[in-house]
């Protein structure tokens, strides 16, 4: 049976700090908590100077789209600067990190499959000033 149609407005969900990251927050905008069965859509915010350290997800792919700002992303050791409209595919097991080296905030969407497990293997220590719950 299909889920109920939903509209989630930007102010409907509060962003929370991303663990082990500096200047990064994330809000789950579509997911199982509101009846979305197969995928989870998250909105990430990366402040100037923000960094999400290198990590990988052994069994989980990501699809991402940059909404605003410009950030540096590393995918399997290859750095690339991406901005609004850039679409990013991160296959399962691919090491990746994010950094906002600019003066403007970055915002991007990240879609992942809704699975029973979400394993993260951290490959880098948290940066100075990181949020550690």
CATH number of 20-122: 2.60.120.10
pTM assigned to the model: 0.94
Q: Where are the domains of the chain?
A: 20-122
Place of tokens 């990190």: 97
For the segment 124-132, the average pLDDT, to the nearest whole number, is 94
Task: Give tens-digit pLDDT for 57-116.
Answer: 999 999 999 999 999 999 999 999 999 999 999 999 999 999 999 999 999 999 999 997
Place of tokens 């951290």: 122
| pLDDT value of residue 133 | 83
| pLDDT value of residue 4 | 84
Task: Give tens-digit pLDDT for 25-56.
Answer: 999 999 999 999 999 999 999 999 999 999 99
Contact 42, 36 (CB under 8 A): no
């Amino acid at each position: 049976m299909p889920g109920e149609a939903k509209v989630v407005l930007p102010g409907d969900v509060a962003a929370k700090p991303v663990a082990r990251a500096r200047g990064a927050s994330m809000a789950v905008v579509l997911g199982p908590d509101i009846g979305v069965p197969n995928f989870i859509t998250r909105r990430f915010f990366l402040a100037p100077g923000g960094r999400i350290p290198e990590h990988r997800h052994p069994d989980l792919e990501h699809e991402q789209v940059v909404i605003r700002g410009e950030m540096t992303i590393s995918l399997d050791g290859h750095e690339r600067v991406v901005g609004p409209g850039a679409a990013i595919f991160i296959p399962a097991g691919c090491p990746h990190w994010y950094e906002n080296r600019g003066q403007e905030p970055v915002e991007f969407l990240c879609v992942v499959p809704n699975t029973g497990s979400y394993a993260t293997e951290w490959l880098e220590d948290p940066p100075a000033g990181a949020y550690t719950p």
